[in-house]
């Protein structure tokens, strides 16, 4: 069957979940002096979820000290989350990461690459309104994430991968992007179906969920941060592009191009890119469109990119492309194999070229 529903059996076998609280709106309150939202400790969130006491779930927690706004997330924070999961992997059935929504797709995408052979759920969630507010979406997001991370079938986790849960929808993390700053339905997955939908029951779209391989977890903690993002726009000039290409020790560049991967055909642009690529820079082409894929060669304006060695990102998201580039460059992948490996699905982040 493609889809299976679950109302989560309250009498199920005891399950243990570790909640990793990094910060974010879900754990914020209004500061009396400034009027701004500031992080609070996880203990103040745990008081808001007495309903979970009805389930046979043991919930422990680990918190950043102090909690941070997701805008301050960096690779050191990603490594800290990965370390907590690695150190506690054998002691828990699943993990829920509470994280600010602004950079959640970046962090969750990165963790999907860092956690090789993951066979347990790592569910990211957060909220648009603080947990303490009357109309908060945080309570439902938190409870559903705990239940999804806890659920098993024949002693095997239902969702043994890194995912994002927000407003009734569960998405593969490295296929997801934030698209709305004001609506509770803040995330979308333009090129891949949802993994589950929570209504009266939780309906799992099983054929789209990664199956466990039961291999030993391997955690990658070396990430190359000497990369850049170039967003093209009409009228972009040579000095802007060259300033990015001249960044000292630059190892990788993600270009956000138009439509199906199109870019200017002006001589200076192509020549600048070719020189950089010939010098060892890895350049990946992703579309500015949140839905669709790069198809270099479909139009004349992308033919030259392929000729000079720009790598098609196919249907990968920008967030996932940046994370994957950091991961591959951090592993020291040779230049001659970087292209084929980038275009290979490692964690379900990209569709194969025939799709």
Q: What pLDDT does 55 receive?
A: 76
pLDDT digits (tens, 9 = 90+) for 235-257: 999 999 999 999 999 999 999 99
In angstroms, the Cα distances linking 328 to 139, 338, 340, 341 are 37, 8, 11, 8
Q: What pLDDT does 1 receive?
A: 37
Q: Which is more confident, 217 or 25?
A: 217
pLDDT digits (tens, 9 = 90+) for 80-120: 999 999 999 999 999 999 998 889 999 999 999 999 999 99
Which of the listed residues 219, 245, 262 is the one where a domain comes to its end?
219
Q: Are 195 and 209 in contact (CB under 8 A)?
A: yes
Q: Is residue 347 part of a domain?
A: no
Which of the listed residues 219, 235, 260 is the one where a domain comes to its end?
219
Determine whether 318 is an active site residue: no
Residue 8 burial class via C-beta count within 10 angstroms: exposed 0-12, middle 13-18, buried 19 and up: middle
**Mean pLDDT across the stretch 163-168?**
91
Query: Could you tell me if 74 and 135 lie in one domain?
Result: yes
Q: How confident is the model at residue 181 (pLDDT cuts 50, 70, 90)?
A: confident
What does the alpha-carbon distance between residue 25 and residue 43 come to, in Å, rounded to a whole number?
15
Average pLDDT, the chain: 87
Query: Could you tell me if 198 and 279 lie in one domain?
Result: no
Q: Is residue 74 part of a domain?
A: yes
Choose the catalytic residue: 16, 22, 25, 317.
25
Q: How confident is the model at residue 354 (pLDDT cuts 50, 70, 90)?
A: very low
Q: What pLDDT does 43 receive?
A: 55
Query: Could you tell me if 140 and 253 lie in one domain?
Result: no
Q: Which is more confident, 308 or 297?
A: 308
Considering its fold, how many domains does the chain have in total? 2
What does the alpha-carbon distance between residue 179 and residue 231 come to, in Å, rounded to a whole number?
17
Could you tell me the residue range of the domain that residue 321 belongs to? 227-342
Residue 27, pLDDT > 90, answer no
| CATH at 10 | 3.40.50.1170
Q: How confident is the model at residue 146 (pLDDT cuts 50, 70, 90)?
A: very high
**Mean pLDDT across the stretch 272-290?**
94
Query: Could you tell me if 121 and 247 lie in one domain?
Result: no
Tokens 């054998």 belong to 90
Q: How confident is the model at residue 11 (pLDDT cuts 50, 70, 90)?
A: very low
């Amino acid at each position: 069957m493609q889809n299976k529903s679950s109302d989560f059996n309250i009498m199920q076998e005891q399950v243990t979940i570790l909640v990793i609280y990094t910060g974010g709106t879900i754990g914020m309150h209004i500061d009396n002096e400034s009027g701004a939202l500031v992080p609070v400790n996880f203990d103040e969130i745990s008081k808001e979820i007495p309903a979970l006491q009805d389930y046979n779930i043991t919930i422990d927690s680990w918190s950043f000290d102090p909690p941070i706004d997701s805008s301050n997330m960096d690779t050191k924070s990603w490594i800290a989350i990965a370390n907590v999961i690695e150190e506690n992997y054998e002691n828990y059935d699943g993990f829920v990461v509470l994280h600010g929504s602004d950079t959640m797709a970046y962090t969750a995408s990165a963790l999907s690459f860092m956690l090789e052979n993951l066979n347990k759920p790592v569910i990211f969630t957060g909220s648009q309104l603080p947990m303490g507010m009357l109309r908060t979406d945080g309570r439902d997001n938190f409870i559903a994430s705990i239940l999804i991370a806890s659920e098993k079938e024949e002693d095997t986790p239902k969702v043994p991968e890194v995912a994002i849960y927000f407003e009734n929808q569960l998405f593969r993390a490295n296929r997801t992007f934030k698209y709305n700053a004001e609506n509770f339905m803040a995330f979308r997955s333009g090129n891949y179906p949802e993994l589950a939908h929570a209504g009266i029951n939780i309906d799992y779209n099983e054929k789209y969920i990664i199956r466990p391989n039961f291999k030993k977890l391997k955690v990658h903690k070396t990430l190359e941060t000497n990369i850049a993002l170039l967003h093209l726009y009409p009228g972009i000039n040579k000095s802007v592009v060259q300033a990015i290409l001249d960044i000292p020790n630059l190892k990788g560049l993600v270009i956000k191009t138009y439509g199906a991967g199109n870019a200017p055909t002006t001589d200076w642009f192509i020549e600048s890119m070719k020189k950089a690529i010939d010098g060892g820079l890895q350049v990946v082409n992703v579309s500015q469109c949140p839905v669709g894929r790069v198809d270099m060669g479909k139009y004349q304006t992308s033919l030259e990119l392929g000729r000079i060695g720009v790598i098609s990102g196919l249907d990968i998201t920008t967030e996932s492309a940046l994370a994957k580039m950091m991961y591959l460059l951090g592993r020291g992948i040779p230049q001659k194999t970087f292209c084929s490996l980038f275009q290979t699905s490692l964690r379900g982040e990209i569709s194969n070229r025939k799709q």
